[in-house]
Amino acid sequence: MTFPDSAKGSTRDDLAEGAREAALRLAGQAHVVGRDPDTEPWRVLIQWIRWWLSGWRRGWPVAAVRDALWQDMVSGERSGGWRTRAAVLGREHAFAVDYHLCRRCRLGWVERPHTMPEYQRCGLASAALAQLRAEHPGLFWHMLGGHFRESRPFWAAVGAGVPGGYQQREVCPHITNG
């Protein structure tokens, strides 16, 4: 059976609209975060020993994907305490951002935020950043790098009223840049 081109287009449009609706719902659930169980000190020690004994010497081991729609895990891109907050739709990360905190200096950094194109403008990035600020109140929030020209309006909006405003700042001496 064949479909006219208009029927094929509407099916694609329906699928895209369904994905956007799922992303909008997901943005509203940013407060429900599945945490990497390796954040417990004894688990970190066991994981590190296994990692060391296995001969893996480059970077830290990355946690497997969990069932939670929002995940907080050890960063697969950066070492030295960096973490990743990610939103999962289906089997892919619809959004992810790396972050690091220094409680001594009252500073937080976010780096490399990325939203899959089909989920952009659904509120995932804004929701994730707002949730990180809610979980870690009293910090000044920054980025290591600058803002791309096309993303400046987003950062101006999301950084309005936020201490630090997600402006570029090097990490403090307590943090390695991984």
Q: What letter represents residue 1's amino acid?
A: M
List pLDDT tens digits, range 72-92.
888 888 777 889 999 998 878
Q: What pLDDT band is residue 5 in, cutting at 50, 70 and 90?
A: very low
Q: What pLDDT band is residue 64 in, cutting at 50, 70 and 90?
A: very low
Which of the listed CATH numbers 3.40.630, 3.10.50, 1.10.3210, 3.40.50 matches domain 5-168? 3.40.630
Q: What pTM value is reported for the model? A: 0.73
What is the C-alpha to C-alpha distance for residues 169 and 151, in angstroms, rounded to an integer?
Answer: 17
What is the C-alpha to C-alpha distance for residues 144 and 142, in angstroms, rounded to an integer?
Answer: 7
Give the H or E element holding residue 126.
Answer: helix 124-135
- Domain residue ranges in the chain: 5-168
E strands, 25-159, are 33-35, 70-74, 83-89, 92-102, 107-115, 140-143
What is the C-alpha to C-alpha distance for residues 20 and 1, in angstroms, rounded to an integer?
Answer: 29
List pLDDT tens digits, range 118-166.
899 899 999 999 999 999 999 999 998 777 777 888 888 888 999 999 9
